[in-house]
Chain A
Amino acid sequence: MSEKKNPVATEAEVTTFSQTWLSSLLEFLSGTKAFYFLVGLSALVVLLAAMFGVNAMHIGFRHAYGVYREIPWGLLISGYVFFVVTSTGLCIVSSIGHVFGVKSFIPIAKRSVYLSVVTIVAGFMVIFFDVENPFRLPIWNTLSPNFTSNIWWMGTLYGAYLFFMTLEFILLLLEKHRYAMLSGLLGLISGVAAHSNLGAVFGMLHGREFWYGPYMPIYFIASAAASGCTAIIFFTYLGYKITGERMDRAMEMSLQAVGKIWALFLAVLMFFTTWKLITGLAGGEGKVLAIKELLAGKYALNFWLFEVGFGLLIPFFLLLLSGFRNLNQMFAASVFAFIGIFFMRVDLVVVGQIVSHFFEYKVTDFPVLLKYSPSIYEIMVVVGATAFCIMAFLIGEKVFKGHKTEIH
Protein backbone atom coordinates (compact mmCIF):
# COMPACT_ATOMS: atom_id res chain seq x y z
CA MET A 1 0.00 0.00 0.00
CA SER A 2 1.45 3.36 -0.95
CA GLU A 3 2.09 5.82 1.84
CA LYS A 4 0.07 9.01 1.65
CA LYS A 5 2.06 12.23 1.51
CA ASN A 6 1.22 14.83 4.12
CA PRO A 7 -0.22 17.70 2.05
CA VAL A 8 1.17 20.38 4.37
CA ALA A 9 4.67 19.29 5.36
CA THR A 10 6.71 16.09 5.37
CA GLU A 11 8.56 14.88 8.47
CA ALA A 12 11.91 15.75 6.88
CA GLU A 13 10.70 19.27 6.11
CA VAL A 14 9.50 19.75 9.67
CA THR A 15 12.87 18.51 10.98
CA THR A 16 14.75 20.91 8.68
CA PHE A 17 12.41 23.67 9.74
CA SER A 18 13.00 22.99 13.45
CA GLN A 19 16.77 22.80 12.85
CA THR A 20 16.64 26.15 11.06
CA TRP A 21 14.71 27.59 13.95
CA LEU A 22 17.16 26.20 16.47
CA SER A 23 20.08 27.70 14.57
CA SER A 24 18.18 31.00 14.31
CA LEU A 25 17.56 31.05 18.02
CA LEU A 26 21.19 30.23 18.72
CA GLU A 27 22.15 32.99 16.34
CA PHE A 28 20.01 35.35 18.35
CA LEU A 29 22.61 34.92 21.07
CA SER A 30 25.33 36.25 18.75
CA GLY A 31 24.16 39.87 18.59
CA THR A 32 26.13 42.97 19.41
CA LYS A 33 25.94 44.95 22.64
CA ALA A 34 23.84 47.68 21.02
CA PHE A 35 21.30 45.09 19.88
CA TYR A 36 20.98 43.53 23.32
CA PHE A 37 20.84 46.95 24.91
CA LEU A 38 17.85 47.92 22.73
CA VAL A 39 16.09 44.59 23.20
CA GLY A 40 16.78 44.69 26.96
CA LEU A 41 15.60 48.28 27.26
CA SER A 42 12.38 47.49 25.37
CA ALA A 43 11.80 44.42 27.55
CA LEU A 44 12.35 46.53 30.66
CA VAL A 45 9.79 49.09 29.48
CA VAL A 46 7.31 46.27 28.74
CA LEU A 47 7.85 44.90 32.24
CA LEU A 48 7.46 48.33 33.80
CA ALA A 49 4.27 48.94 31.81
CA ALA A 50 2.90 45.56 32.89
CA MET A 51 3.58 46.55 36.51
CA PHE A 52 1.64 49.79 35.99
CA GLY A 53 -1.20 47.83 34.38
CA VAL A 54 -1.39 45.19 37.09
CA ASN A 55 -1.22 47.87 39.77
CA ALA A 56 -4.09 49.71 38.06
CA MET A 57 -6.11 46.48 38.13
CA HIS A 58 -5.31 46.10 41.82
CA ILE A 59 -6.26 49.61 42.92
CA GLY A 60 -9.18 49.81 40.49
CA PHE A 61 -9.25 51.44 37.08
CA ARG A 62 -11.49 54.30 38.24
CA HIS A 63 -8.70 55.39 40.59
CA ALA A 64 -5.79 54.74 38.26
CA TYR A 65 -7.06 55.97 34.91
CA GLY A 66 -8.14 59.41 33.77
CA VAL A 67 -11.42 58.07 32.35
CA TYR A 68 -14.71 58.51 34.20
CA ARG A 69 -18.42 57.82 33.70
CA GLU A 70 -18.96 60.57 31.11
CA ILE A 71 -15.72 59.82 29.21
CA PRO A 72 -15.26 56.06 29.55
CA TRP A 73 -12.91 55.64 26.56
CA GLY A 74 -9.54 57.33 26.81
CA LEU A 75 -5.95 56.79 25.80
CA LEU A 76 -6.14 53.01 26.06
CA ILE A 77 -8.96 52.71 23.54
CA SER A 78 -7.08 55.18 21.30
CA GLY A 79 -3.93 53.06 21.68
CA TYR A 80 -5.89 49.89 20.94
CA VAL A 81 -7.37 51.45 17.80
CA PHE A 82 -3.90 52.68 16.77
CA PHE A 83 -2.34 49.21 16.98
CA VAL A 84 -5.20 47.25 15.41
CA VAL A 85 -5.55 49.78 12.59
CA THR A 86 -1.83 49.36 11.87
CA SER A 87 -2.16 45.58 11.97
CA THR A 88 -5.13 45.49 9.61
CA GLY A 89 -3.38 47.93 7.29
CA LEU A 90 -0.27 45.75 7.15
CA CYS A 91 -2.49 42.79 6.31
CA ILE A 92 -4.44 44.67 3.60
CA VAL A 93 -1.43 46.14 1.81
CA SER A 94 0.77 43.05 2.01
CA SER A 95 -2.07 40.80 0.82
CA ILE A 96 -1.84 42.47 -2.60
CA GLY A 97 1.35 40.41 -3.02
CA HIS A 98 1.05 37.21 -1.08
CA VAL A 99 -2.68 36.65 -1.53
CA PHE A 100 -3.40 38.16 -4.95
CA GLY A 101 0.03 37.38 -6.38
CA VAL A 102 1.08 40.88 -7.53
CA LYS A 103 4.82 40.45 -7.98
CA SER A 104 5.82 43.97 -6.90
CA PHE A 105 4.32 43.46 -3.44
CA ILE A 106 5.80 40.04 -2.71
CA PRO A 107 9.13 41.20 -1.18
CA ILE A 108 7.32 42.98 1.67
CA ALA A 109 5.12 39.99 2.53
CA LYS A 110 6.88 38.17 5.36
CA ARG A 111 7.88 41.21 7.37
CA SER A 112 4.39 42.68 7.00
CA VAL A 113 2.64 39.51 8.12
CA TYR A 114 4.99 39.18 11.08
CA LEU A 115 4.41 42.80 12.07
CA SER A 116 0.66 42.48 11.65
CA VAL A 117 0.75 39.69 14.26
CA VAL A 118 3.01 41.76 16.52
CA THR A 119 0.84 44.90 16.32
CA ILE A 120 -2.44 43.04 16.89
CA VAL A 121 -0.90 41.42 19.99
CA ALA A 122 0.19 44.92 21.11
CA GLY A 123 -3.40 46.09 20.60
CA PHE A 124 -4.70 43.19 22.68
CA MET A 125 -2.16 44.04 25.40
CA VAL A 126 -3.53 47.58 25.59
CA ILE A 127 -7.19 46.57 25.70
CA PHE A 128 -6.35 43.87 28.24
CA PHE A 129 -5.62 46.66 30.71
CA ASP A 130 -8.66 48.68 29.67
CA VAL A 131 -11.23 45.96 30.32
CA GLU A 132 -11.82 45.48 34.02
CA ASN A 133 -12.06 41.71 33.74
CA PRO A 134 -10.49 40.61 30.43
CA PHE A 135 -10.67 36.89 31.26
CA ARG A 136 -14.44 36.97 31.00
CA LEU A 137 -14.19 37.74 27.28
CA PRO A 138 -13.16 34.28 26.01
CA ILE A 139 -15.56 32.57 28.43
CA TRP A 140 -18.74 34.53 27.71
CA ASN A 141 -17.83 35.13 24.10
CA THR A 142 -18.19 31.38 23.62
CA LEU A 143 -20.85 30.49 26.17
CA SER A 144 -23.23 33.38 25.66
CA PRO A 145 -22.67 35.06 22.30
CA ASN A 146 -24.67 38.19 21.55
CA PHE A 147 -24.86 38.38 17.76
CA THR A 148 -26.35 41.87 17.86
CA SER A 149 -23.33 43.30 19.69
CA ASN A 150 -20.58 44.91 17.63
CA ILE A 151 -18.13 44.26 20.42
CA TRP A 152 -18.92 40.51 20.35
CA TRP A 153 -18.19 40.50 16.62
CA MET A 154 -15.03 42.53 17.18
CA GLY A 155 -13.67 40.04 19.74
CA THR A 156 -14.57 37.03 17.60
CA LEU A 157 -13.34 38.38 14.29
CA TYR A 158 -10.07 39.72 15.71
CA GLY A 159 -9.50 36.32 17.36
CA ALA A 160 -9.97 34.64 13.95
CA TYR A 161 -7.74 37.28 12.35
CA LEU A 162 -4.91 36.64 14.83
CA PHE A 163 -5.21 32.89 14.25
CA PHE A 164 -5.10 33.12 10.44
CA MET A 165 -2.28 35.66 10.35
CA THR A 166 -0.14 33.58 12.74
CA LEU A 167 -0.84 30.47 10.69
CA GLU A 168 0.03 32.34 7.51
CA PHE A 169 3.35 33.46 8.93
CA ILE A 170 4.24 29.90 9.93
CA LEU A 171 3.27 28.64 6.46
CA LEU A 172 5.37 31.35 4.83
CA LEU A 173 8.33 30.23 6.93
CA LEU A 174 7.69 26.67 5.80
CA GLU A 175 7.62 27.94 2.18
CA LYS A 176 4.11 26.50 1.79
CA HIS A 177 2.88 29.37 -0.34
CA ARG A 178 -0.37 27.78 -1.51
CA TYR A 179 -1.61 27.24 2.02
CA ALA A 180 -0.14 30.54 3.16
CA MET A 181 -2.16 32.24 0.45
CA LEU A 182 -5.36 30.54 1.62
CA SER A 183 -4.65 31.44 5.23
CA GLY A 184 -3.77 34.99 4.17
CA LEU A 185 -7.06 35.30 2.30
CA LEU A 186 -9.01 34.15 5.36
CA GLY A 187 -6.92 36.53 7.48
CA LEU A 188 -7.70 39.38 5.09
CA ILE A 189 -11.44 38.65 5.10
CA SER A 190 -11.61 38.35 8.90
CA GLY A 191 -9.33 41.41 9.30
CA VAL A 192 -11.41 43.65 7.04
CA ALA A 193 -14.63 42.39 8.65
CA ALA A 194 -13.20 42.90 12.16
CA HIS A 195 -11.87 46.31 11.37
CA SER A 196 -14.90 47.73 9.62
CA ASN A 197 -16.84 46.29 12.53
CA LEU A 198 -14.59 48.23 14.91
CA GLY A 199 -15.56 51.33 12.94
CA ALA A 200 -19.18 50.30 13.43
CA VAL A 201 -18.63 50.12 17.22
CA PHE A 202 -18.26 53.91 16.97
CA GLY A 203 -20.54 54.50 14.00
CA MET A 204 -23.57 52.76 15.49
CA LEU A 205 -23.66 54.79 18.71
CA HIS A 206 -26.72 56.99 18.39
CA GLY A 207 -25.82 58.81 21.58
CA ARG A 208 -22.53 60.14 20.21
CA GLU A 209 -23.25 62.47 17.34
CA PHE A 210 -19.60 62.96 16.45
CA TRP A 211 -19.23 59.29 15.55
CA TYR A 212 -22.68 58.26 14.44
CA GLY A 213 -23.19 57.34 10.79
CA PRO A 214 -21.94 55.01 8.05
CA TYR A 215 -18.74 57.01 7.66
CA MET A 216 -16.78 55.26 10.41
CA PRO A 217 -16.43 51.70 8.99
CA ILE A 218 -15.35 53.10 5.61
CA TYR A 219 -12.98 55.60 7.21
CA PHE A 220 -11.44 52.85 9.34
CA ILE A 221 -10.56 50.73 6.30
CA ALA A 222 -9.10 53.69 4.34
CA SER A 223 -7.20 54.78 7.41
CA ALA A 224 -5.92 51.23 7.96
CA ALA A 225 -4.54 51.05 4.43
CA ALA A 226 -2.67 54.34 4.98
CA SER A 227 -1.35 53.14 8.37
CA GLY A 228 -0.25 49.84 6.82
CA CYS A 229 1.78 51.63 4.15
CA THR A 230 3.34 53.83 6.85
CA ALA A 231 4.35 50.79 8.88
CA ILE A 232 5.74 48.89 5.88
CA ILE A 233 7.99 51.77 4.83
CA PHE A 234 9.04 52.58 8.40
CA PHE A 235 9.94 49.02 9.42
CA THR A 236 11.42 47.89 6.11
CA TYR A 237 13.75 50.88 6.06
CA LEU A 238 14.83 50.21 9.64
CA GLY A 239 15.18 46.48 8.93
CA TYR A 240 17.67 47.19 6.17
CA LYS A 241 19.53 49.66 8.39
CA ILE A 242 19.89 47.00 11.08
CA THR A 243 21.27 44.33 8.74
CA GLY A 244 23.28 46.79 6.66
CA GLU A 245 22.08 44.87 3.63
CA ARG A 246 21.88 46.57 0.23
CA MET A 247 18.28 46.86 -0.84
CA ASP A 248 17.77 45.01 -4.10
CA ARG A 249 15.74 46.35 -7.00
CA ALA A 250 12.73 44.13 -6.25
CA MET A 251 12.42 45.53 -2.73
CA GLU A 252 12.95 49.10 -3.97
CA MET A 253 10.16 48.64 -6.50
CA SER A 254 7.99 47.16 -3.82
CA LEU A 255 8.48 50.17 -1.55
CA GLN A 256 7.84 52.51 -4.47
CA ALA A 257 4.55 50.74 -5.13
CA VAL A 258 3.65 50.92 -1.43
CA GLY A 259 4.55 54.64 -1.45
CA LYS A 260 2.19 55.30 -4.35
CA ILE A 261 -0.68 53.47 -2.66
CA TRP A 262 0.09 55.37 0.53
CA ALA A 263 -0.10 58.73 -1.28
CA LEU A 264 -3.44 57.68 -2.76
CA PHE A 265 -4.86 56.76 0.64
CA LEU A 266 -3.52 59.94 2.22
CA ALA A 267 -5.42 61.87 -0.45
CA VAL A 268 -8.52 59.79 0.30
CA LEU A 269 -8.16 60.55 4.02
CA MET A 270 -7.79 64.29 3.33
CA PHE A 271 -10.98 64.12 1.29
CA PHE A 272 -12.77 62.16 4.03
CA THR A 273 -11.60 64.51 6.78
CA THR A 274 -12.61 67.62 4.85
CA TRP A 275 -16.13 66.34 4.17
CA LYS A 276 -16.54 64.99 7.68
CA LEU A 277 -15.86 68.49 9.01
CA ILE A 278 -18.06 70.28 6.45
CA THR A 279 -21.03 67.96 6.90
CA GLY A 280 -20.44 67.89 10.66
CA LEU A 281 -20.64 71.67 10.92
CA ALA A 282 -24.05 71.49 9.28
CA GLY A 283 -25.14 68.75 11.70
CA GLY A 284 -26.73 68.63 15.13
CA GLU A 285 -25.67 70.99 17.91
CA GLY A 286 -23.65 68.32 19.75
CA LYS A 287 -21.64 67.47 16.68
CA VAL A 288 -21.01 71.15 15.87
CA LEU A 289 -19.72 71.71 19.41
CA ALA A 290 -17.32 68.75 19.13
CA ILE A 291 -16.03 69.84 15.73
CA LYS A 292 -15.55 73.44 16.88
CA GLU A 293 -13.53 72.14 19.83
CA LEU A 294 -11.43 70.15 17.39
CA LEU A 295 -10.89 73.04 14.99
CA ALA A 296 -10.44 75.95 17.34
CA GLY A 297 -10.65 74.69 20.90
CA LYS A 298 -8.55 72.61 23.23
CA TYR A 299 -7.87 69.98 20.56
CA ALA A 300 -6.90 72.43 17.82
CA LEU A 301 -3.16 71.81 18.26
CA ASN A 302 -3.73 68.06 18.09
CA PHE A 303 -5.82 68.47 14.98
CA TRP A 304 -3.97 71.07 12.96
CA LEU A 305 -0.37 70.25 13.87
CA PHE A 306 -0.41 66.51 14.46
CA GLU A 307 -3.43 65.14 12.63
CA VAL A 308 -3.41 67.40 9.57
CA GLY A 309 0.26 68.43 9.53
CA PHE A 310 2.16 65.36 10.70
CA GLY A 311 -0.44 62.78 9.74
CA LEU A 312 -1.58 63.97 6.31
CA LEU A 313 0.10 66.98 4.68
CA ILE A 314 3.79 66.53 5.57
CA PRO A 315 3.89 62.82 4.59
CA PHE A 316 1.93 63.54 1.41
CA PHE A 317 4.29 66.28 0.26
CA LEU A 318 7.39 64.37 1.36
CA LEU A 319 6.19 61.43 -0.72
CA LEU A 320 5.65 63.64 -3.74
CA LEU A 321 9.04 65.26 -3.16
CA SER A 322 10.72 61.86 -2.94
CA GLY A 323 9.30 60.88 -6.33
CA PHE A 324 8.65 57.53 -4.59
CA ARG A 325 12.36 56.81 -5.07
CA ASN A 326 14.19 58.60 -2.27
CA LEU A 327 13.82 56.15 0.58
CA ASN A 328 15.25 58.53 3.18
CA GLN A 329 12.47 61.02 2.45
CA MET A 330 9.87 58.26 2.43
CA PHE A 331 11.15 57.06 5.80
CA ALA A 332 10.98 60.62 7.18
CA ALA A 333 7.38 60.77 5.90
CA SER A 334 6.58 57.55 7.77
CA VAL A 335 8.03 58.92 11.03
CA PHE A 336 5.83 62.04 10.79
CA ALA A 337 2.85 59.92 9.80
CA PHE A 338 3.22 57.54 12.74
CA ILE A 339 3.14 60.45 15.19
CA GLY A 340 0.23 62.04 13.35
CA ILE A 341 -1.76 58.81 13.15
CA PHE A 342 -1.51 58.32 16.90
CA PHE A 343 -3.01 61.77 17.48
CA MET A 344 -5.71 60.99 14.88
CA ARG A 345 -6.80 58.04 17.00
CA VAL A 346 -6.73 60.06 20.22
CA ASP A 347 -8.81 62.84 18.65
CA LEU A 348 -11.24 60.36 17.13
CA VAL A 349 -11.89 58.60 20.43
CA VAL A 350 -11.75 61.48 22.90
CA VAL A 351 -13.42 64.29 20.92
CA GLY A 352 -16.36 61.96 20.29
CA GLN A 353 -17.13 62.03 24.01
CA ILE A 354 -16.31 65.54 25.18
CA VAL A 355 -19.77 66.98 24.58
CA SER A 356 -21.90 66.23 27.61
CA HIS A 357 -25.09 64.24 27.00
CA PHE A 358 -27.06 66.81 29.02
CA PHE A 359 -25.62 70.02 27.58
CA GLU A 360 -29.02 71.06 26.16
CA TYR A 361 -30.58 71.23 29.63
CA LYS A 362 -28.08 73.88 30.72
CA VAL A 363 -27.80 72.39 34.18
CA THR A 364 -26.03 74.77 36.54
CA ASP A 365 -22.42 73.75 37.28
CA PHE A 366 -22.63 70.91 34.74
CA PRO A 367 -20.14 71.59 31.95
CA VAL A 368 -21.13 71.53 28.31
CA LEU A 369 -17.68 70.33 27.33
CA LEU A 370 -16.06 67.64 29.42
CA LYS A 371 -12.35 67.30 30.05
CA TYR A 372 -10.08 64.32 29.80
CA SER A 373 -6.38 63.94 30.54
CA PRO A 374 -4.69 60.54 30.49
CA SER A 375 -3.07 59.35 33.71
CA ILE A 376 0.48 58.04 33.94
CA TYR A 377 -0.98 54.52 34.13
CA GLU A 378 -2.67 54.86 30.76
CA ILE A 379 0.40 56.47 29.20
CA MET A 380 2.65 53.69 30.50
CA VAL A 381 0.43 50.91 29.12
CA VAL A 382 0.56 52.47 25.64
CA VAL A 383 4.32 53.06 25.95
CA GLY A 384 4.68 49.41 27.00
CA ALA A 385 2.79 48.17 23.94
CA THR A 386 5.01 50.37 21.72
CA ALA A 387 8.11 48.95 23.41
CA PHE A 388 6.74 45.45 22.82
CA CYS A 389 6.49 46.23 19.08
CA ILE A 390 10.07 47.55 19.02
CA MET A 391 11.36 44.50 20.88
CA ALA A 392 9.46 42.05 18.66
CA PHE A 393 10.62 43.89 15.53
CA LEU A 394 14.29 43.71 16.59
CA ILE A 395 14.06 40.05 17.53
CA GLY A 396 12.20 39.32 14.29
CA GLU A 397 14.89 40.94 12.16
CA LYS A 398 17.57 38.85 13.85
CA VAL A 399 15.79 35.52 14.15
CA PHE A 400 14.05 35.59 10.75
CA LYS A 401 17.08 37.12 9.01
CA GLY A 402 15.45 40.09 7.37
CA HIS A 403 12.21 38.22 6.42
CA LYS A 404 13.29 37.20 2.92
CA THR A 405 10.51 35.95 0.65
CA GLU A 406 11.45 33.50 -2.08
CA ILE A 407 8.55 33.23 -4.50
CA HIS A 408 9.25 33.40 -8.19
Chain B
Amino acid sequence: MKFIVSRTRVPLWSKEKPCDEAVEEELTPLDYRMVPSIEEAKKKIWFKEWWEGGVNHREENGMIVCEKKQKEKNWVVEINTLEDLIKFQEKYGEIMILDSPPYKEVKKEIRILRAK
Protein backbone atom coordinates (compact mmCIF):
# COMPACT_ATOMS: atom_id res chain seq x y z
CA MET B 1 0.00 0.00 0.00
CA LYS B 2 1.26 3.45 -0.90
CA PHE B 3 1.42 6.24 1.63
CA ILE B 4 2.31 9.86 1.21
CA VAL B 5 5.17 10.52 3.59
CA SER B 6 5.91 13.86 5.24
CA ARG B 7 7.47 15.44 8.29
CA THR B 8 5.98 17.93 10.73
CA ARG B 9 8.49 20.48 9.49
CA VAL B 10 8.98 21.02 5.78
CA PRO B 11 12.45 22.05 4.59
CA LEU B 12 11.60 25.08 2.45
CA TRP B 13 15.21 25.98 1.75
CA SER B 14 16.20 22.62 0.25
CA LYS B 15 14.40 19.71 -1.34
CA GLU B 16 15.13 16.94 1.12
CA LYS B 17 13.44 13.57 1.12
CA PRO B 18 11.32 13.08 4.24
CA CYS B 19 12.85 9.59 4.61
CA ASP B 20 15.31 7.35 2.79
CA GLU B 21 12.61 5.13 1.30
CA ALA B 22 10.59 8.01 -0.14
CA VAL B 23 10.15 8.21 -3.91
CA GLU B 24 8.78 11.27 -5.67
CA GLU B 25 5.68 10.37 -7.68
CA GLU B 26 3.14 12.26 -9.71
CA LEU B 27 -0.29 11.75 -8.18
CA THR B 28 -3.74 12.53 -9.52
CA PRO B 29 -5.67 14.86 -7.18
CA LEU B 30 -9.36 14.18 -6.74
CA ASP B 31 -11.44 17.35 -6.78
CA TYR B 32 -14.51 16.87 -4.57
CA ARG B 33 -17.29 19.47 -4.51
CA MET B 34 -20.07 19.60 -1.95
CA VAL B 35 -23.04 19.42 -4.31
CA PRO B 36 -25.12 16.28 -4.82
CA SER B 37 -25.24 16.17 -8.63
CA ILE B 38 -23.49 17.41 -11.74
CA GLU B 39 -26.76 19.09 -12.81
CA GLU B 40 -26.71 21.12 -9.61
CA ALA B 41 -23.02 21.96 -10.14
CA LYS B 42 -23.78 23.51 -13.53
CA LYS B 43 -25.34 26.50 -11.73
CA LYS B 44 -22.21 27.16 -9.66
CA ILE B 45 -19.53 29.77 -10.22
CA TRP B 46 -16.75 27.20 -10.22
CA PHE B 47 -18.35 24.69 -12.61
CA LYS B 48 -16.45 25.61 -15.77
CA GLU B 49 -13.07 25.47 -14.05
CA TRP B 50 -13.95 22.18 -12.33
CA TRP B 51 -15.26 20.58 -15.51
CA GLU B 52 -12.42 21.64 -17.74
CA GLY B 53 -9.73 20.94 -15.15
CA GLY B 54 -10.59 17.28 -14.72
CA VAL B 55 -11.66 13.99 -16.26
CA ASN B 56 -13.91 11.14 -15.20
CA HIS B 57 -16.52 13.37 -13.57
CA ARG B 58 -18.93 11.46 -11.38
CA GLU B 59 -21.27 11.56 -8.41
CA GLU B 60 -20.00 9.82 -5.26
CA ASN B 61 -21.33 9.64 -1.69
CA GLY B 62 -23.63 12.63 -2.14
CA MET B 63 -20.83 14.71 -3.67
CA ILE B 64 -19.37 15.16 -7.11
CA VAL B 65 -15.78 14.38 -7.93
CA CYS B 66 -13.35 14.43 -10.83
CA GLU B 67 -9.72 13.49 -11.38
CA LYS B 68 -7.67 16.61 -12.01
CA LYS B 69 -5.65 16.76 -15.22
CA GLN B 70 -2.87 18.64 -13.45
CA LYS B 71 -0.81 16.09 -11.51
CA GLU B 72 0.93 16.87 -8.23
CA LYS B 73 4.30 15.60 -7.12
CA ASN B 74 4.51 14.02 -3.70
CA TRP B 75 6.91 11.89 -1.67
CA VAL B 76 5.49 8.39 -1.50
CA VAL B 77 6.54 5.28 0.39
CA GLU B 78 5.27 1.76 -0.15
CA ILE B 79 4.54 -0.31 2.95
CA ASN B 80 2.74 -3.59 2.50
CA THR B 81 2.76 -5.32 5.85
CA LEU B 82 2.31 -4.41 9.48
CA GLU B 83 5.88 -5.61 10.09
CA ASP B 84 7.17 -3.12 7.51
CA LEU B 85 5.20 -0.39 9.22
CA ILE B 86 6.66 -1.28 12.62
CA LYS B 87 10.16 -1.33 11.12
CA PHE B 88 9.52 2.07 9.60
CA GLN B 89 8.37 3.41 12.96
CA GLU B 90 11.37 1.93 14.73
CA LYS B 91 13.68 3.56 12.21
CA TYR B 92 12.09 7.04 12.23
CA GLY B 93 10.57 7.37 15.69
CA GLU B 94 7.07 8.67 16.39
CA ILE B 95 4.78 8.62 13.36
CA MET B 96 1.17 9.52 12.74
CA ILE B 97 -1.12 7.94 10.15
CA LEU B 98 -3.79 10.23 8.76
CA ASP B 99 -6.04 10.66 5.75
CA SER B 100 -4.03 12.17 2.94
CA PRO B 101 -5.37 14.93 0.71
CA PRO B 102 -7.59 13.10 -1.78
CA TYR B 103 -5.60 11.41 -4.56
CA LYS B 104 -6.57 8.62 -6.93
CA GLU B 105 -3.50 6.53 -6.13
CA VAL B 106 -3.02 7.22 -2.40
CA LYS B 107 -5.49 7.59 0.47
CA LYS B 108 -3.30 7.74 3.59
CA GLU B 109 -0.36 9.75 4.80
CA ILE B 110 2.40 8.89 7.25
CA ARG B 111 3.76 11.91 9.07
CA ILE B 112 7.06 11.54 10.87
CA LEU B 113 6.62 13.51 14.08
CA ARG B 114 10.04 13.38 15.65
CA ALA B 115 12.90 11.74 13.82
CA LYS B 116 15.22 9.55 15.85
Interface, chain A (partner B; CB < 8 A): 27, 30-32, 34-35, 98-104, 106, 177-178, 180-181, 242-246, 248-250, 253, 398, 401, 406-408
Q: How far is the CA of A101 from the CA of B9 in the complex (A)?
A: 5
In the complex formed, the residue of B with least CB distance to A31 is B45
Q: Kindly list chain B residues whose C-beta atoms are within 8 Å of the C-beta of A244.
A: 33-35, 41, 44, 46
Distance between Cα atoms of A180 and B48 in the complex (Å): 31
A103 pairs with B34, CB closer than 8 A? no
How would residues 83 to 106 of chain B score, 1 for a CB under 8 Å from any chain A CB and 0 otherwise? 000000000000000111110000
Contacts of A102 in B (CB 8 A): 8-10
B6 on the interface (CB 8 Å rule)? yes
Kindly list chain B residues whose C-beta atoms are within 8 Å of the C-beta of A100: 9
Contacts of A98 in B (CB 8 A): 12
**B32 A103 Cβ-Cβ under 8 A:** no
CB-defined contacts of A243 to chain B, threshold 8 Å? 33, 45-46
In the complex, number of A-B residue pairs with CB atoms less than 8 Å apart: 78
Name the distance in Å between B77's Cβ and chain A's nearest Cβ. 13
Taking a contact as CB atoms under 8 Å apart, the answer to whether B9 and A103 are in contact is yes
Residues of A within 8 A of B45 (CB): 31-32, 34-35, 242-243, 398
- Specify which chain A residues have a CB less than 8 angstroms from the CB of B46 in the assembled complex: 242-245
- What CA separation (Å) do A231 and B22 show in the bound complex? 36
Sample of 16 further A-B pairs with CB below 8 A, known A181-B12, A245-B34, A248-B99: A32-B45, A34-B45, A99-B12, A102-B9, A103-B7, A103-B9, A177-B12, A243-B45, A243-B46, A244-B34, A244-B46, A245-B33, A249-B100, A408-B4, A408-B10, A408-B74
Given A101-B9, A103-B8, A246-B34, A408 contacting B111 (CB threshold 8 A): no
Give B residues with C-beta under 8 Å from A: 4, 6-14, 31-35, 41, 43-46, 48-49, 63, 72-75, 98-102, 109, 111
With A249-B101, A408-B75 known as contacts, the answer to whether A106 contacts B10 (CB < 8 A) is yes
**A253 and B6: CB pair below 8 A?**
no
Complex contact B34–A401 (CB within 8 A): no
Q: Which residues of A contact B11 (CB under 8 A)?
A: 101
Q: How far is the CA of A210 from the CA of B79 in the complex (A)?
A: 63
Tell whether, in the assembled complex, residue B32 and residue A246 are in contact, meaning their CB atoms are under 8 Å apart: yes
Asked if A103 and B10 make an inter-chain contact with CB atoms under 8 angstroms apart, the answer reads yes
Residue pair B13, A178 in contact (C-beta under 8 Å): yes
Q: Which residues of A contact B109 (CB under 8 A)?
A: 249
**A178:B111 contact, CB within 8 angstroms:** no
Question: Across the interface, which residues of A come within 8 angstroms of B9, CB to CB?
Answer: 100-103
Q: Which residues of B contact A106 (CB under 8 A)?
A: 10
Chain A residue with Cβ nearest B40: A244
**B101 in contact with A248 (CB, 8 Å):** yes
Nearest residue, chain A, Cβ from B32: A246
| Contact between chains at B8 and A408 (CB < 8 Å) | no
Which residue of the partner chain, among B8, B31, B73, contacts A245 with CB atoms under 8 Å?
Answer: B31
Cα A98 to Cα B109 with chains together (Å)? 20
Q: Knowing A243-B46, A244-B46, A408-B73 touch, does A181 contact B6 (C-beta < 8 A)?
A: no
Shortest CB–CB separation between residue A98 and chain B, in angstroms? 7
Assembly CA distance A180 to B13 (angstroms): 10
Tell me which residues across on chain B come within 8 A of A246, comparing CB atoms.
Answer: 32-34, 63, 102
Q: With A and B bound together, what is the CA distance between A100 and B31 in angstroms?
A: 29
Nearest chain B CB to A189's CB is how many angstroms away? 16
Contact A178 B33 (CB under 8 A): no
Across the A-B interface, give the 8 residue pairs with the lowest CB-CB distance, nearest first: A246-B32, A249-B99, A248-B101, A181-B12, A101-B10, A32-B45, A244-B33, A101-B9
B41 cross-chain contacts in A, Cβ below 8 A: 244
Residue of A32, A99, A180, A249 touching B43 (CB-CB under 8 A): A32
Q: Are B48 and A27 in contact (CB under 8 A)?
A: yes
Closest to B31 in A: A245
Q: List 11 A-B contacts (CB under 8 A).
A: A27-B48, A30-B49, A101-B9, A101-B12, A102-B9, A177-B12, A178-B12, A243-B33, A245-B46, A246-B34, A408-B74
Give the distance in Å from the alpha carbon of A258 to the alpha carbon of B8 in the complex: 15
Q: What is the CB-to-nearest-CB distance from B39 to chain A, in angstroms, rounded to a whole number?
A: 14
In the complex, what residues of A have CB within 8 A of residue B43's CB?
32
| A30, A106, A253, A408 — most chain B CB neighbours (10 Å) | A408
Q: How far is the CB of B94 from chain A (nearest CB, A)?
A: 14
Q: Are A27 and B10 in contact (CB under 8 A)?
A: no
